[in-house]
Amino acid sequence: MSDISSAILPSGTLLPALGLGTWKMGENSSTAEQEVKSLKHGLDLGMTLIDTAEMYGEGGAEIITGKAIEGRRDEVFLVSKVYPYNASHQGVIDACERSLQRLKTEHLDLYLLHWRGEHDLEETVAGFEQLRRSGKIREWGVSNFDVEDMEDLMEVEDGEKCAANQVLYNLARRGIEYDLLPWCQERGIPIMAYSPIEQGRILRNTELIRIAKAYQATPAQLALAFVLRTRNTIAIPKSSDPHRVEENAGAIGLEISREDWAALDAAFAPPFRKHPLEML
């Protein structure tokens, strides 16, 4: 599959709108081979964005990712994340170096602050910018930032260079549609949706099943299509099963009628007021 739709960063860089998550990978040596195989299959299908983090398996997911991209680094848009407690100016630089070593690569395409912590954003951004100038990262962004956090970031020197915000977003978690999603869209900052199928919990919903069947699709494909229907929104489902990865890739190109989107809105209500940003 080569027709994965694209999102665009503020810099103009294109990246796949449907990628591969790695949360909970690298935690068990008995499943490592299957996890590598799954990521490689996703790359073969055109899902060439891989999202990982130093937190996942305490570096284990980065090692798995490094094995999956070996010999094909140039194909991959590679994303990793730094722990908040490592996000001082020098801490960011040191953490990035460790991630690069585990990933066996010389640079990250996108490096994110995993969530806001004790270190001042000025310190974190300064570290990111030093990494960017040195070529260790191409772009940087944030994760789990609500509107107020984003506005604070914009007040920091070079804060406007934020390239993306990765947050929890799926049919059952639509709070960002009230304010954060439009805020980011107005500024050309893509939303990266983690847990876009709510770790499978929404897939038994009868309305989701009914509508998916009408399109000869699976509930997971329809749930991913919901996330992907929004301009400049990226979905990063995680699966260690190559068959499930192939199923996820089938979400691309689903064209759902207005009536069926409205039926999904009735089953999974959009927000009508501000909600605190949800996290998993």
pLDDT of residue 253: 87
Domain span including residue 147: 6-267
Q: Which long-range contacts (CB under 8 A, 24 or more apart) does 259-263 make?
A: 260/211, 260/214, 261/226, 261/229, 263/207, 263/211
- Per-residue pLDDT band at 4 (split at 50, 70, 90): confident
DSSP state of 159: G
Decide if 225 is inside a domain. Answer: yes
Q: What is the mean pLDDT of residues 226-251?
A: 94
Burial class (CB in 10 A: 0-12, 13-18, 19+), 8: middle
Residue 271 and residue 93: Cα distance in Å, rounded?
39
Decide if 101 is inside a domain. Answer: yes
Active-site residue among 56, 111, 169, 194?
A: 56
Decide if 42 is inside a domain. Answer: yes
- Which among 141, 188, 139 is positioned nearest to 164, based on CA atoms? 141
Half-sphere exposure of 202 (CA within 13 A, CB side): 25
What is the average pLDDT value for the chain, to the nearest integer? 96
Residue 5: CB atoms within 10 Å: 11
**Tens of pLDDT, residues 125-182:** 999 999 999 999 999 999 999 999 999 999 999 999 999 999 999 999 999 999 999 9
pLDDT of residue 5: 87
In contact, 47 and 17? CB cutoff 8 Å = no
pLDDT of residue 2: 40
Decide if 273 is inside a domain. Answer: no
Q: What is the mean pLDDT of residues 57-75?
A: 97
Residue 88 and residue 90: Cα distance in Å, rounded?
6
Burial class (CB in 10 A: 0-12, 13-18, 19+), 120: middle
Residues with Cβ within 8 Å of 277's Cβ and at least 6 positions away in sequence, in order, are: 144, 145, 146, 167, 168, 175, 176, 180
Decide if 276 is inside a domain. Answer: no
pLDDT at 1 over 70: no
pLDDT of residue 49: 98
Decide if 280 is inside a domain. Answer: no
Domain count, the chain: 1
Determine whether the annotation assigns residue 114 to a binding site.
yes
Decide if 258 is inside a domain. Answer: yes
Q: What is the mean pLDDT of residues 60-70?
A: 98
Decide if 277 is inside a domain. Answer: no
State yes or no: is 178 an active-site residue.
no
| Partners of 110 in beta bridges | 79, 139
Which two structure tokens, joined as six digits, stand for 114? Answer: 């995993």
C-alpha dihedral sign at 87, 91, 92, 97:
negative
CATH code at position 231:
3.20.20.100
- Per-residue pLDDT band at 3 (split at 50, 70, 90): low
